[in-house]
Every structure is written in structure tokens, then in C-alpha cells.
Amino acid sequence: MASGEEIRRATELLARARRPVAFTGAGVSAESGIPTFRGSGGLWENYRVEDVATPEAFERNPRLVWEFYNLRREAVFRAEPNPAHRALARLEELFPNFVLITQNVDRLHQRAGSKKVIELHGNLCEVRCTGCGRTFDKTGVRLEWPPRCAECGELLRPAVVWFGEALPLDAWRAAEEAANASDCMLVIGTSAQVYPAAGLIAMARRHGAAIVEVNLEPTAASEMAAISIYGKAAEVLPQIVEAIEWARQSGEMR
């Protein structure tokens, strides 16, 4: 359980920020019923990364890869944003320069109302043609096998970033810019093990940002954090938002 003192310290750091950034990972969606990747109950416990999340795996066995992603797509379409997603959407309203950088592919931040979202690892709603490169929005659509491009007939793939693939350049540049300019970065629900995304935390730190971590347990980011709050994102974040709203109303912080 996060203590009142921890919430107060985190709130203090965030409340005075001019350029707050949130950097999120799979833990934010855990309470929406979406499994994380690493750790017990994580996706990589039942699937080998090399079999389902690399370009080589897709070349070798597109059907197996699509089976994995169809299950994930269905779970995500059924899921609902949780109080952590909603708290982050509220922060965007409270701070004019707030930027949300996510590694998540589930689009739950956007569904909770966040507008300034930088997606580093793509998303499960869209698909991309392996032939002509066009992307298509297939939110909520059950894909036939084999899924083919309506324009050129080539095979479609999930529009996510697999291991060994470059991150979308525009998203990466925007994320670097936000991290470098940030004075407070919330690092929420990520093991901070996957690069280059995890490198944004050190980048922000180097440029003077206070790192506030919210996670169930210590991670690779913990040693960079000014404060780590160990608890569920869906419980901790609403408390921080509430404290900021309360402080603003009572004129304590501006």
C-alpha cells in the first residue's frame, strides 16, 4: 500500500512541474485485465518472443503469429480503461503541456480520453500491408485468414513494433523531445527493460527531470527515481490526481 507521505511527495514534485511527462507500460492496463509481458502470468511465460514477436517469426509462420495477435486483439477490444488510464487523461486537462508516452499497444489511454499520446510500439487496432505499406484501422474487426490488403492483395501484419524493428521515427523524435524538455516524469507500470524506449527515463533524468515511479515492485528505473511508489497504478494515480486537484482548489499550489 502506498503511504500518504509517498503520495504527498509525489504530488509535490508533479504539482510544480511545467512540463510533466508520463511514460507508461503494460502494468497500467493490468487492472483492465490485459496481461503484462514479463513476470508471473505475463505473456512471455506462455509464448516465446522469437516465435511470435519478431519479423523472422512472421516470415516463418504468419499464421501462428496472427493467432497470437488475434487473441490479443479480442482481449483488448473487450477491455475497458481503468482508473489509472482515467487519472492520466485528467492530468492532461490539469497541465497544459502534459505529454503521455506509452509503450502500450492497447489504445486504452486514448479510449480513456488522453489526446496527446505518443505510441512508441504501434497498436493492435491497426494493421499494415507487407507489400505496399499502407495501414488500415481494424478496430473491433475479426480478421479472416489470411488477412489481405484491399489495395494490393499482399499479406497484412499487426501494426506493432517487433523486436529488432525500428520504432516509428516521428513518435521516437516526439518522445525524445518531450523527455529532454521534461521537469517531472511519471514512470508507470513498466519493467524499463526494453530499449530504446526505456532509455527515455535516463534521458529525462539527465536533463533534470524528477522521476516518479509507480509500480508493484522495484525495476530498472527505481535507482533513477526521486520517489518510487509501490502499489497498483489504478489505486495510486487517482490519489495523486485527487491531491493535486485538492491543493489547487485550496490555493496551495498553482
Catalytic residue numbers, as ranges? 121
CB atoms within 10 A of CB 56: 12
| R_g over Cα of the chain | 19
Does 163 bind ligand BJW (CB under 6 A)? Our answer is yes
Tell me which residue has cell 491543493. Answer: 247
Q: Which does 126 bind (CB under 5 to 8 A by kind): ligand BJW, Zn ion, none?
A: none
For ligand BJW, which residue of 2, 9, 12, 38 counts as binding (CB under 6 A)?
A: 38
Closest CA to 185 of 141, 135, 227: 227
Does 108 bind Zn ion (CB under 5 A)? Our answer is no
Q: Which does 42 bind (CB under 5 to 8 A by kind): ligand BJW, Zn ion, none?
A: ligand BJW
Of the candidate spans 77-85, 132-140, 197-205, 236-244, the one that interacts with Zn ion by CB under 5 A turns out to be 132-140
Local structure of 158: helix, strand or coil: strand
Angle at 202 between CA 226 and CA 222, to 5 degrees: 40
> In Å, how far from its chain's centre is CA 254?
28
Q: All 3 cell numbers of residue 98?
A: 502534459
Does 238 bind ligand BJW (CB under 6 A)? Our answer is no
Does 215 bind ligand BJW (CB under 6 A)? Our answer is yes
For Zn ion, which residue of 131, 168, 199, 231 counts as binding (CB under 5 A)?
A: 131
Q: All 3 cell numbers of residue 247?
A: 491543493
Q: For the CB of residue 145, give the shortest distance to Zn ion in the complex, in Å.
A: 17
Contact by Cβ (8 Å): 192, 24? no
Residues within the interface to ligand BJW (CB under 6 A): 25-27, 30-31, 36-39, 42, 53, 103, 105, 121, 160-161, 163-166, 189-191, 193-196, 214-217, 219, 232-233
